[in-house]
Amino acid sequence: GENVEQHPSTLSVQEGDSAVIKCTYSDSASNYFPWYKQELGKRPQLIIDIRSNVGEKKDQRIAVTLNKTAKHFSLHITETQPEDSAVYFCAPHQAGTALIFGKGTTLSVSS
């Protein structure tokens, strides 16, 4: 099965700084790479995803980059705001398998 590692486990930044969270995976057959955000007491929600035929995708302040050779993908948040404070989960997977979440990264943005 897929072995997923996220780093760092916690990240504290000042408002306006950038944040980067990395996810490494073991299964080379993985071809879908989403990031989910979970605010305290809420459900996980997709914030950005990328498929294996694309190296980078951007949506306003959020971007995801994929390195299939090295089997990792990263979430980049620029100009962080307090409302970005949450737990972020990566969930790389392939057809025929369910989403398996990483252990999560707790991002704290202080103003």
Residues that bind other proteins (CB under 8 A): 31-32, 34, 36, 38, 42-46, 49, 89, 93-104
Q: Closest distance between other proteins and the C-beta of residue 60, in Å?
A: 17
With b meaning 16 or more CB within 10 Å and e meaning fewer, what string describes 25-44?
bebeebeebbbbbbeeeeeb
For residues 70 and 96, which CB has a smaller minimum distance to other proteins in the complex? 96
Q: Closest distance between other proteins and the C-beta of residue 16, in Å?
A: 28
Q: Closest distance between other proteins and the C-beta of residue 17, in Å?
A: 25
For residues 58 and 103, which CB has a smaller minimum distance to other proteins in the complex? 103
CB 48 within 8 A of CB 36: no
The angle subtended at Cα 72 by Cα 67 and Cα 74, nearest 5°, is 90
